[in-house]
């Protein structure tokens, strides 16, 4: 795994040495950030179910102002911290070692002290955890920390039937690549 573009272009990320973690592929991240590139600079991003942190690190490399990594699995949270440290990222990154929904609830409770709302949320639960998609997207439908027009990007397997709407969140785009799909939901627009 490597950083695709930006200030950290070409730098390697440590991959997990255990089974069960499915990092977003370099090719899929490149496609994702080719779509987001014009608007990622200066943005606040949440990388939920962050795994290795590759998506959030890519956002930072491309100029995101702030990335909040949410990862419940202790070895994965440690791996994210290792990747951030090895790249010299000591500003604009926060790792919350909690369940994704709990992490989003923490962000919600802290929103009053935040002047800048979050523009992008990337969600990549384990493919086998179908209920996590619904729990998190239902919560995000009423999240006070999202900017109007925020984009929620959900990675899921190709044969998973993800609904096209969660309250006011509406799927605006679907991108298929191999066995993975990115569903883009828009918030409040």
User: What is the number of residues in the chain?
Assistant: 189
For 30-69, the pLDDT digits (tens) are 999 999 988 999 999 999 999 999 999 999 999 999 999 9
Can you list the positions of beta strands (E) in 132-168? 146-157, 165-166
pTM: 0.93
Q: Which residue has the tokens 């923490």?
A: 106
Percentage of the chain exceeding pLDDT 70: 94
Spell out the domains of the chain, with CATH numbers in brackets. 26-186 (3.40.50.150)
Across 13-24, average pLDDT: 72
Number of H helices, E strands in the chain: 5, 8
Alpha helices in 7-157 (DSSP H): 26-40, 54-61, 74-86, 100-110, 130-140
- Give the pLDDT score at 46: 97
Q: Strand pairing partners for 94?
A: 68
Query: Do the Cβ atoms of 156 and 127 come closer than 8 Å?
Result: yes
Question: How confident is residue 188, by pLDDT bands cut at 50, 70 and 90?
Answer: confident
DSSP string covering 18-52: STT--PPPHHHHHHHHHHHHHHHTT-EEEEET-TT
For 106-145, the pLDDT digits (tens) are 988 876 655 679 999 999 988 778 889 999 999 999 888 9
DSSP designation for 112? G
- Give the pLDDT score at 15: 83
- Give the pLDDT score at 21: 62
Across 144-172, average pLDDT: 91
For 152, phi and psi rounded to 5 degrees? -110, 120
For 5-18, the pLDDT digits (tens) are 999 999 999 887 76
Q: In what order do the strands lie in the sheet with 44-48?
A: 93-96, 66-70, 44-48, 118-123, 146-157, 180-186, 169-177, 165-166
């Amino acid at each position: 795994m490597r950083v695709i573009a930006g200030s950290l272009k070409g730098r390697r990320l440590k991959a997990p040495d255990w089974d069960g973690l499915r990092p977003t592929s370099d090719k899929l991240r490149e496609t994702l950030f080719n779509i987001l590139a014009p608007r990622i600079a200066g943005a606040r991003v949440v990388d939920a179910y962050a795994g290795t942190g590759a998506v959030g690190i890519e956002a930072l490399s491309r100029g995101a102002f702030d990335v909040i990594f949410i990862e419940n699995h202790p070895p994965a949270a440690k791996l994210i911290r290792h990747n951030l440290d090895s790249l010299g990222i000591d500003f604009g990154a926060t790792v919350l070692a909690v369940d994704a929904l709990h992490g989003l609830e923490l962000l919600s409770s802290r929103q009053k002290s935040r002047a800048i709302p979050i523009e992008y949320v990337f969600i990549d639960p384990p493919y086998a955890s179908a209920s996590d998609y619904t729990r998190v997207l239902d919560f995000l439908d009423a999240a006070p920390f999202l900017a109007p027009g925020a984009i929620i990007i959900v990675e899921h397997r190709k044969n998973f039937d993800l609904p096209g709407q969660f309250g006011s969140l509406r799927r605006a785009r679907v991108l298929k690549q191999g066995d993975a799909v990115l569903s883009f939901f828009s918030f409040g627009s």
